[in-house]
Amino acid sequence: MIDVLAIVGPTASGKTALSLELAERLGGEIINGDSMQVYREMSIGTAKIEPGEMRGIPHHLLDIKNPDESFSVAEYQKLVREKIEEIKSRGKLPIIVGGSGMYVQAVLFDYRFAEEQADEGLRAALRAELAEHGPLHMHAQLLELDPKADIHPNNTRRVLRAIEIIKSGHGTSERNLALSPMYNEVIIGLDMPRDILYDRINQRVDIMIEKGLLQEVQMLRGRGIRDAQSIRAIGYKEMYDYLDGKLDWEQAVDLLKQNSRKYAKRQFTYFRNKLPIFWIDALENPGKNIRKTEAFMQEKDRQRRIGIIEQQNPDKRL
C-alpha cells in the first residue's frame, strides 16, 4: 500500500483541485504543504482554500500559527509525520498538497537537522555584519564556507542560519539530507507551459487584489506586525512597501506578479533537482490525470512488493 501521496507544483498550477478529486476517490485527508498557509488571518495572499471549497474533506495544518510567530522546516516535519500516522490509523490516505518543496522533502525523506541551539553572540555579530554590508555580502560569505549551499541570496534568514551553523561547528550546511525515503510515497507534480502558467499567476494576483489583499495586509500592519517571518512572503512584502510609501500602486502590483513568476521558476527548479516526481500535464483532462495517478500508485506499490519479496526470497519471482 502507498503510505503517503504528495501533490506538488508551482503556484497557480491547480494542486488544490486535483487534491480534492483524489481525496474523494482514494479516501484521503489533506495535509497543508505550503509554508505560509500555516498562518491565521493570512488567507488571501496565500491562496488558502476556503472552508466551503473543502467538500467535507479534512484539511490539516492550516491556520495553526499567529502571524507574528516563527515556523521552521523542523517543526513542520515533526507535525506532519505525526499527522500522517494519525490519518493512517483511521484507514485514510494522507495527501500532502503544496508548493514548498523543501518542506515536503523534509517529511518524506530522511532529512536531519543540525542542532537548534543558538549561539547568541555569533548570531548578534552576523546580524550586525548584515546591517553593515547587506545580503549579497552574507550570501558570498556562505558560499565561501560551503560552496554547495543551495539557499537563495534573498532568503537572508536562512543564509544567516547556515553561516551560524557552520561557524558553530555543527556541519557544512543548514541540514544533512539523506535521500532515503521514510514512507512508501508517491509524489505527483503538475506541469504546464511556462507562458500559460505565468498568465495564470498574473490572473491569480488580480483575483487576490479583488478579494481584498490590500485590506488583509492593512489589518496585519495595523496590529503592529512588522519584523515577522510571515510578512516576508510574496504578496505581503510588496503590499507593505506600498503602504510604507516605498512603491506606488502600479509598481507594487507589477512587482508582486514578477516575484510570483520568479518564485514559480524556483519551485520548478527545486522539484526537478531534489524530488523523485511523476509529472503530469496540469492542462490534461482531470479524469485522465486521476487515472494516471492511480495507475502510477499501483505500479509503484507493485514494484515495492516485488522488491520486498525478492529480498526475502531471492530465488522466487512473481
> Does the annotation flag 14 for ligand binding?
yes
> Does the annotation flag 10 for ligand binding?
yes
254, containing H or E segment: helix 249-274
Q: How confident is the model at residue 120 (pLDDT cuts 50, 70, 90)?
A: confident
Q: Cα-flanking dihedrals φ and ψ of residue 223, to 5°?
A: -85, 5
Does residue 235 surpass a pLDDT of 70?
yes
pLDDT digits (tens, 9 = 90+) for 135-191: 999 999 999 888 878 788 888 888 888 888 788 765 554 444 446 899 999 999 999
Contact 91, 27 (CB under 8 A): yes
> Does the annotation flag 9 for ligand binding?
yes
pLDDT digits (tens, 9 = 90+) for 272-302: 998 999 999 999 999 999 999 999 999 998 9
Side by side, the strands of the sheet bearing 59-60 are 59-60, 28-32, 93-98, 4-8, 185-191, 278-281
Least confidently predicted of 13-22, 107-116, 193-202, 255-264:
107-116
> Does the annotation flag 12 for ligand binding?
yes
Query: What is the rounded CA–CA span in Å between residue 19 and residue 22?
Result: 5
Mean of all residue pLDDT scores within the chain: 90
pLDDT digits (tens, 9 = 90+) for 61-77: 999 999 999 999 999 99
Does residue 314 surpass a pLDDT of 50?
no
180, containing H or E segment: strand 175-181
Name the residue among 71, 105, 79, 135 with its Cα closest to residue 267: 105
Q: How confident is the model at residue 114 (pLDDT cuts 50, 70, 90)?
A: low
> Does the annotation flag 260 for ligand binding?
no
Coil/strand/helix, residue 135: helix
Q: With the C-alpha atoms ordered 22, 26, 30, 33, is the resulting torsion angle positive or negative?
A: negative
pLDDT digits (tens, 9 = 90+) for 195-225: 999 999 999 999 999 999 999 999 999 999 9
Cell matching residue 168: 558553530
Residue 225 to residues 220, 231, 236, 259: CA-CA distances in angstroms? Answer: 6, 8, 11, 22
CA atoms within 13 A on the CB side of 181: 12
- Residue 189's pLDDT is 97
> Does the annotation flag 78 for ligand binding?
no
Contact 74, 64 (CB under 8 A): no
> Does the annotation flag 11 for ligand binding?
yes
Residue 299 to residues 53, 262, 292: CA-CA distances in angstroms? Answer: 31, 35, 11
> Does the annotation flag 16 for ligand binding?
yes
Least confidently predicted of 41-45, 83-87, 117-121, 160-164:
117-121
Beta strands in 57-156 (DSSP E): 59-60, 93-98, 109-113
Confidence (pTM): 0.80
